[in-house]
Structure 1
């Protein structure tokens, strides 16, 4: 009986893993741009979709790398970041409980207030001091065609498993 339960459990786990890898591939996070939410060497499951909203974590391609950042503003939204690091979208201050620090990246070269171009999204890393994101003109706003999908869960390390 115990062997039968173990075998059935193993089959169920294999089916779940097949479904996850087929419909929600798993990727490794490199770097600390999304710390403390995601850390270097975390593994995340990404749902392939073009549907997302403010606050979602998205994955996109940039210079042949997969980057994960948080959606802050959508097409035609106005973004402003004050000298204390507080972010305003369409004059509404964002509640960003996920940040450990609001210190700005010294490489920031975008001028605020900023209007997000049509068909693009404005993204920021949760580690504002180190993140390369839409505040830098080299990366800028992300074209929706570049977006692979939305991060739906962190699967590894198991001790930090999270659903987003």
Structure 2
């Protein structure tokens, strides 16, 4: 009975709240790590936040690839064996196997109604004529010079997103002919944290590239309480509040408070 309850809870959590995905390719380097034969990053994807709002520029999202994205870097590749494929489908429901849908991961660059173009004289993508600040971009040395392929101007239709990989010369994304923007309805969730391997545990930078002045990456993004609860950070938060209360207690003045 306990096993059944545990499986049911796992299914509900991964369906409605959060799920861990494996990153199999280097298209999001160095934000996310993935390569054949390596210890790939596992990321915690928050499925709840976008029930109350839409993805924003800078968000790293997992989404179902449209049919036109047949050559995208899938987070899961179903087996060609019917029996194995069936077991994968069952296992994916409880987190014992990779998800069986064609899921992809990229960063949101522009949203519906915005016009995106590449590139200005300084090799920067522009949105509505304004250059982006993209500190997360990585150029794979063997993929050629650190320049981006020209495209646009392209106006993103309402209800769609223009998405790109952080490893700018090593990503099959919205720039590819036949790909283009993706529907907001295809978005599964927002990648919040790298949870494995332990040496790479971190929050995932969601810096808005459309801001003129860069601010420090958020260490507690919206929806983080869900992810933090998963990794057991609530006791740390409670401890911090206790420490702050102690620090705020007024001290009695003594002769030692004078300068010198």
TM-score normalised by the shorter chain: which range applies? 0.7 to 0.9
CA RMSD, 1 decimal: 2.3
- 2:81 pairs with 1:43: no
What is the distance in 1 between the residues matched to 2:123 and 2:194? 27
**Deviation of the 1:124 alpha carbon:** 0.6
Match of residue 86, structure 1, among 120, 124, 127: 124
What is the distance in 2 between the residues matched to 1:94 and 1:143? 22
Larger CA Rg, structure 1 vs 2: 2
Alignment of 1:28-67 (within 5 A): 28-40=22-34, 41-48=40-47, 49-50=49-50, 51-62=54-65, 63=70, 64-67=101-104
Match of residue 98, structure 1, among 112, 131, 136: 136
More strand by share: 1
Higher relative contact order (CA 8 A, sep 6+): 1
- 2:178 pairs with 1:138: yes
Counterpart of 2:86 in structure 1 is none
The count of residues paired between Structure 1 and Structure 2 equals 145
What is the distance in 2 between the residues matched to 1:104 and 1:161? 30
Counterpart of 1:9 in structure 2 is none
**Deviation of the 1:98 alpha carbon:** 0.8
Asked if 1 retains the 8 angstrom alpha-carbon contact of 2:118 and 2:148, the reply is no
TM-score, length-scaled by structure 1: 0.79
What is the distance in 1 between the residues matched to 2:103 and 2:123? 26
